[in-house]
Amino acid sequence: MSNIRLITTGGTIASSRKEGSDRVVANVSGAELKSRLHDPLEGIDITVDDFCSVGSFAFDLPLAFALAKHIDEALASDDCDGVVVTHGTDTMEESCYMADLIVGSDKPVVFTGAQRHAGDPDTDGPRNIAEAVRVAAFSAARGLGAMIVFEQDIHAGRDVTKAHTSRVDTFRSNSYGKLGEVDGEKVFIYRRPAQRFNAKVERIVPEVELMKLAMGASPAFLNFAVEQGARAIVIEAFGRGNAPNGFAEAIAPIVERGIPVIIASRCHEGRTRPIYGGGSGGKDLADAGVIFSGDLSSLKARILASVLLGRGADIEDFRREFEKAAGTHSG
């Protein structure tokens, strides 16, 4: 018998239309979600753990960190073989990556949810929960880190992103592909993540801002963010990691103040790398002291930055650890 903890946080999977209203809100308990499962899941015992009940668009970094610590504590129990977390899809990839960084156990951690709310006649929630539970109870899923299981596919928390606003097969792992899939009662694992990083921290620093660049964007936001207390800034830049004119000059004094500036790419695949000069190309940004995120998306880079800042290290230690976690270090 496998013992799986079902940790609920709200989201579409636990939402239905509010009576007398045109709004869909989180209002379905974990016990009710469990009772709606169509799959008998023989040989698996499910314990419900209601953590919170919100739309994932209302999550913030402290709540995601608290959830990751809660998962870690649950897995420390001998009577817990794995965890399934029901979560809204809007920010699921961020909470999943936070758990990937924080949870120390090698027991399976599986996030899932729904694109169609619980009151919808063809809701995808019960099927996704059942498939997530099967993965969490599967012995070969140990050591894969935090995962998202959705519409039969298994994705690594580091790689996955939400790719469509409404389709039930919304999650993709663009560069590397899924880890495996669920086919009926069978779970298949095709690959194991090569890049895993665990950060043992007791706190995070949530004051990490994210800026997406567009043609001719102004660097004025960077100084505003610093004035408002930003402890790190992630810039979702062009291509290999380039920015409009003026960004290198604006970034240099920020880095000199000990505030990390991280360059990710707005492209969905590939790696950042300093190649171009001529204003604020990647080479110019490198000279200004930025950290390149490699193939780590801007959303994931922000999560990683908040976790590493929680260690209280100086900017050079932060740079070293970030590059190690992102797989961009030269060692």
Q: DSSP 3-state assignment of 221?
A: helix
Q: Which of 8, 9, 12, 86 is catalytic?
A: 12
* The two three-digit tokens of residue 265, written as one number: 């790419």
User: Is 90 labelled a binding residue?
Assistant: yes
CB neighbourhood size of 259 (10 A): 21
User: Is 39 labelled a binding residue?
Assistant: no
Q: Which of 8, 9, 86, 89 is catalytic?
A: 89
φ, ψ for residue 143, nearest 5 deg = 80, 5
Does the active-site annotation cover 112?
A: no
Going by their DSSP bridges, the two strands 186-189 and 180-183 should be labelled as antiparallel
Q: DSSP 3-state assignment of 17?
A: strand
Question: Burial, 113: exposed, middle or buried (Cβ in 10 Å; 0-12, 13-18, 19+)?
Answer: buried
Question: Burial, 181: exposed, middle or buried (Cβ in 10 Å; 0-12, 13-18, 19+)?
Answer: middle
Question: Burial, 104: exposed, middle or buried (Cβ in 10 Å; 0-12, 13-18, 19+)?
Answer: exposed
Does the active-site annotation cover 12?
A: yes
Binding-site entries: 56, 89-90
Residues known to be catalytic: 12, 89
Binding-site entries for substrate: 56, 89-90
